Structure 1
Amino acid sequence: MSGTKTGLSATLMAGAALAGLSAGSAEAQDHRWNMHIAFPAGNFHTENAEAFADRVAEVTDGAVEITVHPAGALGLQGPEVMGAVRDGIVEAADYHLMQQVGEAPLMGVNALPYLAVGYDEAWTLNEIARPYYEEIAADNNQVILYDVAWPGGQVYADRAIETRDDFSGVRIRTADSIQSQFFDELGASTVQMPWGDVVPGLASGVIDGVTTSTSSGVDGAFWEFLGHMTIMDYVNPISVMAVNLDAWNALSDEHQEAIRTVADEMRPEFWARSEADDEEKLAKLEGEGISVSTVEGDLHEAMVESGQAIWDDFIADVGTPAEEIITEYRSEIGR
C-alpha cells in the first residue's frame, strides 16, 4: 500500500511539474510591452506607433502586445528615455535621437542646422548614420526597429523673425543643446525643456517663443499664445522606436523576423505620413490665425553660416564617427 502511495505521489508530482513547465512555456510566448511616447493622441507619431502595435499583434497572432502610452503618461522626459529603455523601465519607447546626446553625442548628427534640408536629404543622412545609431543602441541594451523624420524646424514667436535683431529678447524653447547653441548664437535667449513643459511655459510666460514643427504647433494650440510662425526648415530631426534588448531576445526567432519585416514595410509609410502631416498642420495653423512667413535674405545666409560652424564644432567634439558620417553624406548629396 505504501508503495502504491509513493508511486501515486511521484506520478502526481511529475504531472504537476509538467503542467508547470507547460504553463511556463505558454507564458513565455506571451509578451506584453509598454511603449512610451511623449506626444498626444492624434499626433502622427503616436498614430504611427499605434498602427505599428496593431500590425505586430496581427503578425504574431497576439503573442506580442504593445500598449502605446501617449502624452508622456509613463512620466518619462526626453533626455532620459533611451536610458529607461536600456534599464528595462519600459520595454519600448519612441524618442528623439537629438535629446540623447548627453549619453551618446553622435546621435545629435541628425540635428545639425542646415546639414540636411527637407525630407529627401534627411532620409539620405539617416541611411548613412543609422548603422552608427544601431551600434549605440546595442551598447545601450536595445534595438531600433524604425525611424521617422519630423517636419522641419520652425520658430513661433510674438513677431515675425526677419532679421537677427528680431531674435533679441525672445526666450525660445529648444529641445536639445544643439538647437540652444544655434539660437543663442543668433541672439535669442534659449530655454531647453521637454515637450511636456512647453505649453505650461507659454502659459506662465517662462518662454515667449518655441522652435518646433507644424505638427507640434497644432498639438500645443500655439495660436492661443503666439501670433507668428517663421518657416526656417533648418532641421528634420529623427525619432526612433526602440525596444529593450532583453525583451527583444525573449521573443522567438520567428516573431523577431515578423516584427522586423513589419517595421521595414511601415517605415516608408511613416515618413510619408510625416510629410503629409506637415502640409495639413500648416494649413491648420493659418486657419487658426497664425501669421506665417519664410526666412530669407541676409538672415537666412547668417543662419546657414552659423549652422555650418556648428558642424565643425560637432566634428571636433564627437570625433571620427561624426566626420565619417558628414563627409559621406556631403559627398552623396554633392554639397
Structure 2
Amino acid sequence: MRNEIMRCFAVVFTVIMIVSGCSGREETKTAGGGGEEDTKPTYEFRLAETHAPDYPTTLADKHFAELVHERSDGRIKIDVFPSAALGEEAAAIEQVQLGAIDFVRTSAGPLAEFNKDYAVFSLPYLFDSDEHVWNFLLSEHGDQLLDSLESSKMLGLAYYSSGARSFYSSKPLAGLEDLQGQKIRIQQNAVNIDLMDALGASATPMAFGEVYSGLQTGVIDAAENNYPSYYSTGHYEVAPYFLLDGHQRIPEVLVISMTAWEKLSEEDQELIRTAAKDSIAFQREKWAEYEQLAEEEIRDAGVTVTEVADVSAWQKAVQPVLEKHGADYQDLLDAVEALRP
C-alpha cells in the first residue's frame, strides 16, 4: 500500500514539473519610477537543435540564448537541446507549429513542407557563392520570407550559414554519370525529389539522424550535404567518396512558435528579434572555422574528394526542374538575379 502511494505521488510530482517547466511564465517585480513597482514576466523557453553540442549552429543557438538572457536581465531563459533531443528537424518544426516547442533551428529545406516559398532554396545552382546567398538573405526579400512563416503559426528570426551542399557516396563517385541509379537521401520536398530524378538517381527521404546507419547497411547509397555535416556525423567513414558540385546553398533558419511569440510584450519581441540578428555574425565566423577544419580532417582521413570544375553539364541536366518549379518563384528568382555579385 505504501509503495502504491509513493508511486502515485511520483506521477503527480512529474506531471507538475512538466507543466511548470514548459514555456513557464512568472511575474517578477522591478522598481519603477516614483517608488512604484513594474511587473515584468519571466519565461523559460526550449530551442530544438538537431546537431551536436559543438556544431556551429548549436554554438550560435547558445550565443543567441545568452544574448537574450543578458539583455532581459535574466528574465528570459532559452534552453538549447542539441543532438535532436526534442526530435529531428521535421518533427521539431511540427511541434513548434503546435506551440509544444518554442524555438527550432532548422534547414530551410524542411520548411518548404510548411511554406512553399522556402522550396526556392532547393532549386539547383541558384546561388553562385556564399556572398551571393547573403546578399539575398539580408535583403528585404529575405526578411519577407522570414515573416511569411507567420501563416504557418511560426515566425522566422534569422538565417545562419550552411555552406554548399554536394554529394557523397559509399560507391565510387567522380562525375555525373556515377549518380545514375544511386539511392540518395534527401530532405523531403517536391523540388529535391524532382532534382534526383533529373540526375538519374533515386530520391530517398530520410531523417538526418538515420543517414549513417542507412549508408552503413545499404538502405541508401549516398547523401548530400556540406563539409561540416559530412564530417561531424562521421558519414565520411561509411561514404568515403565526396563529389564537390555545390548544387544547393540552403540556409539555416532560427524559428519561433507564434504561441511563444504572442506571449511576449512588444519590447521583449524586439529584444528577441534583435538578439537573433546579432547572433548571425557569430554563427558565420564559427561556420567558416569549422568548415575549414572539416575539409582538412576528411582529406587527412583518406576520403576521395573530386571537385567539379565545370557544372554546365549538371545545369543542363536539371533544367527540367527549373522549368517545372521556377515559375512558382519568379519574383524571388528575379531578386536573386538582381543581387548577383
Band of TM-score, shorter chain? 0.7 to 0.9
1:323 to 321, 327, 330: 330
1:270 to 279, 283, 288: 283
Q: Which residue in 2 is equivalent to 1:146? A: 158
* Residues 1:220 and 2:233 are matched in the alignment: yes
* Residues 1:169 and 2:171 are matched in the alignment: no
State the structure with more CA Rg. Answer: 1
Alpha-carbon distance between aligned partners in 2 of 1:266 and 1:32, rounded to the nearest angstrom: 19
Q: Which residue in 1 is equivalent to 2:6? A: none
- TM-score, normalised to structure 1, is 0.84
Structure 1 residue 24: Cα displacement: 5.7
Alpha-carbon distance between aligned partners in 2 of 1:332 and 1:56, rounded to the nearest angstrom: 32
- TM-score, normalised to structure 2, is 0.82
- Could you say what secondary structure the match of 1:333 adopts? coil
- Could you say what secondary structure the match of 1:74 adopts? coil
**1:1-335 correspondence to structure 2 within 5 Å:** 25-26=27-28, 29-75=41-87, 77-126=88-137, 127-177=139-189, 178-297=191-310, 300-316=311-327, 318=328, 322-333=329-340
**1:67–1:100 Cα change, 3 Å:** same
- Could you say what secondary structure the match of 1:95 adopts? strand
Alpha-carbon distance between aligned partners in 1 of 2:319 and 2:282, rounded to the nearest angstrom: 31
Alpha-carbon distance between aligned partners in 1 of 2:314 and 2:92, rounded to the nearest angstrom: 30
- Could you say what secondary structure the match of 2:46 adopts? strand
Alignment-mate amino acid for residue 209 of structure 2: G
1:199-253 Cα offsets, whole Å, 9 max, x none, are 1212222012110111111122123212211111121211111112232232233
Identical residues among aligned pairs (%):
20
Aligned length: 305
Alpha-carbon distance between aligned partners in 2 of 1:268 and 1:307, rounded to the nearest angstrom: 33
Structure 1 residue 60: Cα displacement: 1.0
Structure 1 residue 29: Cα displacement: 1.3
Alpha-carbon distance between aligned partners in 2 of 1:149 and 1:24, rounded to the nearest angstrom: 35
- Could you say what secondary structure the match of 1:279 adopts? helix
Runs of 5+ in structure 1 lacking a partner?
1-22
Write 1 or 2 for the structure with the bigger share of strand: 2
Alpha-carbon distance between aligned partners in 2 of 1:218 and 1:250, rounded to the nearest angstrom: 39
- Could you say what secondary structure the match of 2:271 adopts? helix
Alpha-carbon distance between aligned partners in 2 of 1:131 and 1:149, rounded to the nearest angstrom: 16
Alpha-carbon distance between aligned partners in 1 of 2:108 and 2:309, rounded to the nearest angstrom: 28
Alignment-mate amino acid for residue 296 of structure 1: A
Structure 1 residue 63: Cα displacement: 0.7
Alpha-carbon distance between aligned partners in 1 of 2:244 and 2:213, rounded to the nearest angstrom: 24
Q: Over the residues paired in the alignment, what is the CA RMSD in angstroms?
A: 2.2
Alpha-carbon distance between aligned partners in 1 of 2:307 and 2:260, rounded to the nearest angstrom: 45
**1:149–1:129 Cα change, 3 Å:** farther
Alpha-carbon distance between aligned partners in 2 of 1:198 and 1:156, rounded to the nearest angstrom: 12
Alpha-carbon distance between aligned partners in 2 of 1:132 and 1:145, rounded to the nearest angstrom: 11
Structure 1 residue 160: Cα displacement: 4.7
Q: Which residue in 1 is equivalent to 2:18? A: none
- Could you say what secondary structure the match of 2:47 adopts? strand
Alpha-carbon distance between aligned partners in 1 of 2:51 and 2:130, rounded to the nearest angstrom: 21
8 A contact 1:128–1:325 mirrored in 2? no
8 A contact 1:223–1:289 mirrored in 2? no
8 A contact 1:117–1:234 mirrored in 2? no
Q: Which moved more, 1:224-233 or 1:169-178?
A: 169-178
